[in-house]
């Protein structure tokens, strides 16, 4: 799991592709995996998480989703509920550090 700190998403580097261009989900056929499954569809969630588990930029994806408060879909291998819990812990760490 990534450490939550300020500035979660790296600054764009014009000499290197953005993290999105390196994402494992981009190499899939359209519709092959549902990254926005019904919250009750554990099978579809497991398939999406399995893709994320192989992704070289899963941490950047997760950081982006948390920073931008994405409320739907599987991002960086976490569901919306899992990201909400992680975000709450991150915000609590920030409050304690202040």
pLDDT in tens, 23-69: 999 999 988 999 999 999 999 999 999 999 999 999 999 988 988 88
Asked whether the predicted pLDDT for residue 2 surpasses 70, the reply is no
Q: What is the mean pLDDT of the chain?
A: 85
What ranges do the domains of the chain cover?
19-97
Contact (Cβ atoms closer than 8 angstroms) between residue 61 and residue 23? yes
Tell me which residue of 86, 95, 37, 89 sits closest to 66, measured CA to CA. 86
Residue 15 has a pLDDT of: 54
Task: Flag the least confident range among 15-19, 49-53, 76-80.
Answer: 15-19
Q: What is the mean pLDDT of residues 4-30?
A: 69
């Amino acid at each position: 799991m990534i450490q939550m700190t300020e500035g979660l998403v790296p600054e764009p580097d014009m000499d290197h592709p953005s993290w999105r261009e390196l994402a494992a989900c981009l190499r899939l056929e359209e519709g092959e995996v549902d990254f926005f499954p019904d919250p009750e569809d554990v099978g579809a969630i497991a398939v999406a998480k399995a893709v994320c588990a192989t992704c070289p930029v899963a941490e950047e994806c997760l950081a982006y989703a948390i920073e931008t408060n994405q409320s739907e879909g599987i991002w960086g291998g976490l569901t919306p509920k899992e990201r909400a819990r992680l975000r709450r812990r991150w915000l609590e760490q920030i409050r304690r550090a202040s």
